[in-house]
Amino acid sequence: MRDAEGAEPDKSRGRRPTMEDVAARAGVSRALVSLVFRGKPGASAATRERVLRAADELGYRPDNAARLLASDRSRTLGVMLTVHQPFHGDLVEGIYPEAERLGYDVLLSATGPGRDERKAVEALLGHRCEALILLGPSAPAEHLDELGRRTVTVVIGRRAPGAHVDTVRTADAKGIRQVVDYLVELGHRDIVHIDGGRAPGAAERRRAYRAAMRRHGLGDALRIIPGDHTDEAGIAAGKTLLAEGRMPTAVLAGNDRCAMGLMHALRSSNVEIPRDLSVVGYDDVHLAHLWPFDLTTVRQNADGLAQHAVRCAVDRLEDGTVPPREILLEPKLVVRGTTGPPPDGRRG
Amino acid sequence: MRDAEGAEPDKSRGRRPTMEDVAARAGVSRALVSLVFRGKPGASAATRERVLRAADELGYRPDNAARLLASDRSRTLGVMLTVHQPFHGDLVEGIYPEAERLGYDVLLSATGPGRDERKAVEALLGHRCEALILLGPSAPAEHLDELGRRTVTVVIGRRAPGAHVDTVRTADAKGIRQVVDYLVELGHRDIVHIDGGRAPGAAERRRAYRAAMRRHGLGDALRIIPGDHTDEAGIAAGKTLLAEGRMPTAVLAGNDRCAMGLMHALRSSNVEIPRDLSVVGYDDVHLAHLWPFDLTTVRQNADGLAQHAVRCAVDRLEDGTVPPREILLEPKLVVRGTTGPPPDGRRG
DNA sequence: GCGATCTACTAGAGCGCTCTAGGACCGGTA
DNA sequence: TACCGGTCCTAGAGCGCTCTAGTAGATCGC
């Protein structure tokens, strides 16, 4: 009965080696092993070598939990993302290398159906992340403010007015203005905006659209179809437009996915893009370049956003006196194949 | 000089409350607080209530690092994914709820440029994950075997012959066979396969294609274009076919992305889909339904794969005697708009 | 009125690290 | 010889939890 070791789960796999084991094997103290693994000075080259060899032979791997617990710093950044936003993928790919360069670890936590932002963030905090990087959070500014006062927090992709957080985003207003200017230049007057509803950045894009239209004296032609930053919203908007029977000459979608949904919905109609309708997206997600028609869109500099976000977080972690910043990156209109002059007879 | 508190990073933010603080405030011992937070019996309802209130007032949140360190179990599953594989997104969305249901935490670690699989896995192990769930790893079977002997490991989406790991995947051979049967039934004979090279699952799909073609007496018509599970591979294959000037009547791509790339490359040619060429993908990724032409493809049951993977991991964690399993899920041919009969005069 | 048996709780060791304080030994200097 | 400053190393406390062993007090049977 006493020997029923096998019954206990996992005992068979054996305890993994600890720093103590490495120390014993290398014939030094635990503290010295610690020094070596942290790359701190205070160990001779020979000893260092001996320790590393011993560790390697034992298959030793430092235990993060213990390390976290013992040190006051965790050097870990928590990233909240939505696993189905391709643009978030672009951002994550930029965050990893920058964090590594600065000596930080990265933990990802995804939102999704049945897992809201609060839950995702709690998970990160529970793992001792020192700072949070939130990709396009939809939480209200007050909530972000509360978070920001508890932990260093960086928000990517939207404004968070009044909240004690860094924000890193594209100058959306400028991007939208570029699009409207470009469309007007082509001769468009009847330019509709499918907005992003309450999605991150949507409010500002909406505002910028209104302002730009007015600036061109098109205040009357201004029209916003309520939407969202999803394919479904684009499809719905497309159906709406078809049902009305009166197409605008250009549509400025809330983001690329929405633009894609729109084009999808129009696919089986007799509306041809860009002959009858110009369509512009926003984001320039990686996958967009695969579209059968190249989407004209506004590029957000994902790598730039990612790098700035990491640096904001680290700067504030390493110097508690630095206040949160607001960083704006330049958008860039990328003209491809879904835009052109309006059909004859409908010029501005 | 002695009061230069503010100079130290983050000291200003103040120590976060510990179990000790909660215990003091509730007037009980630390151990009792621990009991309450773990939902274990041994505390009266009244005390339980008092403890929870105290914790709430202090904004207490249990520290995972300490919890991990103290208990022998971490109840954490580590998931390795490629952040730009939409299908991985589908899987992650299935993994979270199932893990939560079983009382496990999930940690994500992404591969990407500059961050290979080894690195991603190391990160997970360093955070004390008890089990690894690898989404379509490309590591050789021996490497997986090594990992699997160190930690409970589940591989999703490919075979790992001889490796001490669970594998959960779709019966690819069956899926491919269904596609070939369907295409032959439509009258196709000239069916080309763009393969996935060394990508997960690719070898089996390739084999299944060969077998299916032979079974229909089409061994001579058999042709494989070397590729990959990326858009680029599809584009390249498209260019190859165009350059040759002799189109097959149907193409079976390695996966949806590859199929999309292919169609993208053919878009400006005079090859019309499905009139001149039928195209079939594989995976049925979420985004596929947005395609201007609905892609005929083979659906993998992402939720099913995710759930089985989590259960495999948990089963083996909780009972060390359970051996690794190999689970096969049924694929399902989803016929949409990119396939049809071959052009007249090219029937089989 | 005594031990037995609950329930409700506490003490204290220990998880695998980090980090401060300090010790041993060296060559050089007064 | 005594002392210094430097390099290389060790001892030991403690991070915030979990968990085993045990205690205090109520309830109960006889």
CATH number of the domain to which A123 belongs: 3.40.50.2300
DSSP strand pairing (B223-225 vs B166-170): unpaired
Tell me, yes or no, whether B104 and B199 share the same domain.
no
Residue of B19, B108, B25, B101 lying closest to B64 (CA atoms): B19
What is the average pLDDT across B218-245?
Answer: 94
Q: How far is CA A45 from CA A39, A41, A50, B24, in A?
A: 11, 10, 9, 48
In a domain, A253, yes or no: yes
In a domain, A348, yes or no: no
Q: Where does the pLDDT of residue A86 fall: very low under 50, low under 70, confident under 90, or very high at 90 and above?
A: confident
What distance separates the 2 farthest-apart alpha carbons in chain B? 92
What is d(CA A150, CA B14) in angstroms, rounded to the nearest whole number? 9
pLDDT exceeds cutoff 90 at B83: no
Tell me, yes or no, whether B308 and B282 share the same domain.
no
In a domain, A143, yes or no: yes
What is the average pLDDT across B160-179?
Answer: 95
pLDDT exceeds cutoff 80 at B147: yes
Tell me, yes or no, whether B184 and B285 share the same domain.
yes
The rounded mean pLDDT for chain B is: 90
Q: Where does the pLDDT of residue A293 fall: very low under 50, low under 70, confident under 90, or very high at 90 and above?
A: low
In a domain, A335, yes or no: no
pLDDT exceeds cutoff 60 at A3: no
Q: Do A10 and B64 touch (CB under 8 A)?
A: no
Q: What percent of chain B has pLDDT over 90?
A: 73
Nearest CB among A123, A263, A318 relative to B105 is that of A123
The predicted pLDDT at position A348 comes to: 65
In a domain, A337, yes or no: no
What is the residue range of A217's domain? 172-300
Q: Where does the pLDDT of residue B252 fall: very low under 50, low under 70, confident under 90, or very high at 90 and above?
A: very high
Q: Where does the pLDDT of residue B348 fall: very low under 50, low under 70, confident under 90, or very high at 90 and above?
A: low
The predicted pLDDT at position A345 comes to: 76
The predicted pLDDT at position B73 comes to: 86
Tell me, yes or no, whether A183 and A212 share the same domain.
yes
The predicted pLDDT at position B290 comes to: 64
In a domain, A97, yes or no: yes
Higher pLDDT, A293 or A97: A97
pLDDT exceeds cutoff 60 at A136: yes
What is the average pLDDT across A245-260?
Answer: 93
The rounded mean pLDDT for chain A is: 90
Instruction: Measure, in angstroms, how far nucleotide D20 C1' is from residue B99 CA.
Output: 29
How many CA atoms, within 13 angstroms, populate the side-chain half-sphere of residue A9?
16
Q: Where does the pLDDT of residue B288 fall: very low under 50, low under 70, confident under 90, or very high at 90 and above?
A: low
Instruction: Measure, in angstroms, how far nucleotide D18 C1' is from residue A12 CA.
Output: 22
Helix axis angle, A86-101 to A302-318, nearest 10°:
40
Tell me, yes or no, whether B164 and B306 share the same domain.
yes
Q: Are B330 and B299 in contact (CB under 8 A)?
A: no
Q: Is B222 helix (H, G, I), strand (E, B) or coil?
A: coil
A117 to chain B, minimum CA–CA distance in Å? 13
What is d(CA B138, CA B198) in angstroms, rounded to the nearest whole number? 7
Tell me, yes or no, whether A147 and A232 share the same domain.
no
Tell me, yes or no, whether A241 and A140 share the same domain.
no
Compute φ and ψ for A112, nearest 5 degrees: 170, -175
**Which of B69, B75, B146 should one mutate to test binding to chain A, selecting the residue with the greatest count of A CBs within 10 A?**
B69
Q: Is strand D in 7 Å reach of the CB of A32? A: yes
Encoded amino acid at A320, one letter: G
Compute φ and ψ for A302, nearest 5 degrees: -60, -45
Instruction: Measure, in angstroms, how far nucleotide D13 C1' is from residue A67 CA.
Output: 16
What is the average pLDDT across B293-321?
Answer: 93
Q: Where does the pLDDT of residue B201 fall: very low under 50, low under 70, confident under 90, or very high at 90 and above?
A: confident
Domains in chain A, number: 3
pLDDT in tens, B15-38: 789 999 999 999 999 999 999 999
Runs of H (alpha helix) within A14-165 = 19-26, 30-38, 45-58, 64-70, 86-101, 117-126, 141-150
Q: Is B63 helix (H, G, I), strand (E, B) or coil?
A: coil
What is d(CA A36, CA A56) in angstroms, rounded to the nearest whole number? 13
Tell me, yes or no, whether A247 and A133 share the same domain.
no
In this structure, the protein residues whose CB atom falls closer than 7 angstroms to any atom of nucleic acid strand C are A 15-16, 18-20, 30-31, 34, 37-38, 60, 62-63, 66-67, 69-73; B 27-32, 35, 41-44, 46-47, 66, 69-70
State which residues between 37 and 66 of chain A bring their CB within 7 Å of strand D. 41-44, 46-47, 66
Q: Where does the pLDDT of residue A291 fall: very low under 50, low under 70, confident under 90, or very high at 90 and above?
A: low
The predicted pLDDT at position A290 comes to: 64
What is d(CA B23, CA B37) in angstroms, rounded to the nearest whole number? 12
Lowest mean pLDDT among B69-73, B109-113, B314-318, B325-329: B69-73
**CA-based angle B247:B293:B232, to the nearest 5?**
60
Higher pLDDT, B287 or B272: B272
Q: Do A112 and B92 touch (CB under 8 A)?
A: yes
Residue with tokens 């621990």: B34
Q: Where does the pLDDT of residue B87 fall: very low under 50, low under 70, confident under 90, or very high at 90 and above?
A: confident
B225 DSSP β-pair partners: B194
Contacts of A155 (CB under 8 A, 6+ apart): A134, A137, A144, A163, A165, A166, A167, A168, A169
What is the average pLDDT across A158-166?
Answer: 94
Encoded amino acid at B11, one letter: K
What is the average pLDDT across B239-245?
Answer: 94
What is the average pLDDT across A172-191?
Answer: 96
Q: Where does the pLDDT of residue B231 fall: very low under 50, low under 70, confident under 90, or very high at 90 and above?
A: confident
Q: Where does the pLDDT of residue B119 fall: very low under 50, low under 70, confident under 90, or very high at 90 and above?
A: very high
What is d(CA B55, CA A324) in angstroms, rounded to the nearest whole number? 29
Q: Where does the pLDDT of residue B293 fall: very low under 50, low under 70, confident under 90, or very high at 90 and above?
A: low
Tell me, yes or no, whether A80 and A157 share the same domain.
yes
Tell me, yes or no, whether A163 and A265 share the same domain.
no
pLDDT exceeds cutoff 50 at B324: yes
pLDDT exceeds cutoff 50 at A6: no
Encoded amino acid at B313, one letter: A
pLDDT exceeds cutoff 80 at B237: yes
Instruction: Measure, in angstroms, how far nucleotide D7 C1' is from residue A62 CA.
Output: 26
Residue of B35, B82, B115, B117 lying closest to B257 (CA atoms): B82
pLDDT exceeds cutoff 80 at A346: no
Pairs across A and B, CB distance < 8 A: 160
pLDDT in tens, A203-227: 999 999 999 999 999 999 999 999 9
In a domain, A339, yes or no: no
Which DSSP letter does residue A115 get?
B
Beta strands in chain A (DSSP E): 76-82, 105-111, 131-135, 152-156, 166-170, 191-194, 223-225, 250-252, 278-280, 297-299, 326-329, 332-334
What is d(CA B144, CA B138) in angstroms, rounded to the nearest whole number? 9
Tell me, yes or no, whether A202 and A146 share the same domain.
no
What is d(CA B104, CA B307) in angstroms, rounded to the nearest whole number? 13
In a domain, B133, yes or no: yes
Tell me, yes or no, whether B311 and B164 share the same domain.
yes
Q: Do B64 and A126 touch (CB under 8 A)?
A: yes
Q: Are B165 and B198 in contact (CB under 8 A)?
A: no
